[in-house]
Amino acid sequence: MKVCLPIIIFLISSLNAISQAPLSANSFLASSRTQQEMLHQEKIVQFLQRTSYQMPWIEQVELRTRTHDFEISQEEYIFRVTPNSPRQRWAQNKYHNSTIRTGEMEQQFILEEALLDRYEIIAGLYFCERLIRVKNEFFLVYEDKINTLKKSALLSNFDITDLIKTEDDRNDLQMELLNLENTRSGLQTLVKLITESEDSLDLTQGNFIGLEEIKNILPELYGTPLEQHPLLVRQSARIETLEYEYNVEDAERRNVLDYVESRYEGQRKDFLRERLSIGIGFKLPLKGSSKLKLNELKLEQLEAENKQEALVYDLQMKKGEYLSKMQALLDEHALLLKQMETSQARFSMDQYPGLADATAYSLLKIRESLLGKELDIVKKEQEIFETYLELLHLSGIVAEQPLRNYLSAGFEPF
């Protein structure tokens, strides 16, 4: 029993560790396929695919009877058939296929939105971690500056305002760190809610995309045809569905054959004396009749087409706007890197790594200056990544098969 107990404890600990294993970015992105909205839309599409909406040749069959003076021998029978025209059957078949396509495009759009939400969470966590790291280093510098200033309090050149300002800066930094940690915690909670698990997102399992790869993919993002964007594809499918729905209504209006009937009446004892007749009914179209529904559908179709044109214009304008913004951000980032490399603070830190204690405060100020520049670079990279995600959305390639992680080095498939 003494031997079994440690083994049991080890197994339980191992199971707990497995159940709370960190979640990779690829696994988190893959969870978009199984979110509730996607599964619900998939059920709708599968139902439409399994269900036959093919219009029959015969719409309605009637059997009527009528008596004369309640004499059974004089009873009359009418067998009436209401047919559908070939045009109606064609239009109905096209309409059903277009509803399936619309459902599939809606599913693709939902997938893209789900992936974009996850990309924003991943990028948010990535930069939370980087900002926390830099600001923690800042905090240590402020602590050292405060300690150094307190030791210099008895010197004749001591300025109390330097100590007060440094303490204020440290206190402000503490609040910023707290806000960042709360943001990180909130994003991890969101990950758990989305995946319906207790797993936290771990970004150390894969390589994050670099700025060079972002620069290399920009021409592809710019050159992607707008017609392939899920938003426009979904809208095109909607217009097509409205067009075929209009055709269904129009085919019904143009079907002038109302019914074909066979009438039987006469004595039942002698077949030769029984009377059998065939009749045909035609619809006589009147001016303006049955136009209301058609006009409503045509108006709805025109509105959908206008919306599509507005979407095309909006996507074109935004794509150009964000590409210009991206180029400006990349130029600013390059300038920040150059300024950091050529700064006097960098030169001083490289030239005087072993200064005496008398110059410790100067070294701390140099370190503070370098951290400030590093913080500016991280914030600029955060803007670049936010703009990159917008360009991914505008290009419409996020949900293209096979699915790829556009925030990973090499765009790993998942």
pLDDT at 9 over 50: no
pLDDT for residue 345? 64
Assign 8 a pLDDT band (cuts: 50, 70, 90). Answer: very low
Assign 218 a pLDDT band (cuts: 50, 70, 90). Answer: very high
Using CA atoms, how far residue 381 sits from 59, 134, 217, 331, 378, in Å, is 65, 14, 16, 11, 5
Q: Is residue 375 part of a domain?
A: yes
What tens digit of pLDDT does each residue of 35-44 get? 999 999 999 9
Assign 287 a pLDDT band (cuts: 50, 70, 90). Answer: low
pLDDT for residue 67? 76
pLDDT for residue 13? 44
Q: What is the mean predicted confidence (pLDDT) over 8-33?
A: 68
pLDDT at 85 over 80: yes
What tens digit of pLDDT does each residue of 346-357 get? 666 666 655 554
* CA separation for the pair 135, 158 (Å, rounded): 27
Q: Is residue 406 part of a domain?
A: no
- Number of structural domains (the chain) is 1
pLDDT for residue 375? 96
> pTM for this structure?
0.81
Structural domain range at position 140: 21-395
**Alpha-helical runs (H) found in 224-290:** 230-254
Average pLDDT for the chain: 86
What tens digit of pLDDT does each residue of 123-181 get? 999 999 999 999 999 999 999 999 988 887 777 677 888 889 999 999 999 999 999 99
Name, in order, each residue with C-beta under 8 angstroms of 261's C-beta and a sequence gap of 6 or more.
78, 79, 80, 81, 278, 279, 280, 281
pLDDT at 21 over 80: no
Q: Is residue 401 part of a domain?
A: no
pLDDT for residue 357? 47
Using CA atoms, how far residue 256 sits from 19, 56, 85, 299, in Å, is 68, 17, 9, 25
**Chain position carrying tokens 């150009």:** 320
Q: What is the mean predicted confidence (pLDDT) over 294-316?
A: 93
Given strand 58-68, what is the order of strands in its sheet? 58-68, 71-83, 257-265, 275-282
pLDDT at 374 over 60: yes
What tens digit of pLDDT does each residue of 93-107 get? 999 999 999 999 999
More confident residue, 353 or 370: 370
Q: What is the mean predicted confidence (pLDDT) over 247-253?
A: 88
Q: Is 396 left (phi over 0), alpha (psi -120 to 50) or beta?
A: left
Assign 358 a pLDDT band (cuts: 50, 70, 90). Answer: very low
Closest CA to 126 of 199, 209, 198, 190: 209
More confident residue, 374 or 74: 374
Specify the range with the lowest mean pLDDT, choosing from 223-237, 284-298, 345-359. Answer: 345-359
Q: Is residue 409 part of a domain?
A: no
Taking the alpha carbons of 44, 49, 50, 53 in that order, is the dihedral positive or negative? positive
State the amino acid at position 378 in one-letter form. V
Specify the range with the lowest mean pLDDT, choosing from 10-14, 157-161, 301-305. Answer: 10-14
pLDDT for residue 18? 45
* DSSP states of 139-184: HHHHHHHHHHHHHTTTSTT--HHHHHHHHHHHHHHHHHHHHHHHHH
* Top-ranked range on mean pLDDT: pick from 9-13, 63-67, 257-261, 359-363: 257-261
Q: Is residue 242 part of a domain?
A: yes
Using CA atoms, how far residue 136 sits from 95, 204, 336, 408, in Å, is 61, 19, 21, 26
- Percent share of the chain, pLDDT over 90: 58
* CA separation for the pair 165, 173 (Å, rounded): 12
pLDDT at 402 over 50: yes
* CA separation for the pair 112, 125 (Å, rounded): 20
Closest CA to 339 of 365, 364, 363, 372: 372
Here the CATH number for the domain that contains residue 184 is 1.20.1600.10
* CA separation for the pair 220, 213 (Å, rounded): 12
* CA separation for the pair 367, 136 (Å, rounded): 13
Q: Is residue 9 part of a domain?
A: no
Contact 85, 57 (CB under 8 A): no
Q: Is residue 68 part of a domain?
A: yes
* CA separation for the pair 108, 102 (Å, rounded): 10
- Percent share of the chain, pLDDT over 70: 86
Closest CA to 300 of 233, 249, 230: 249
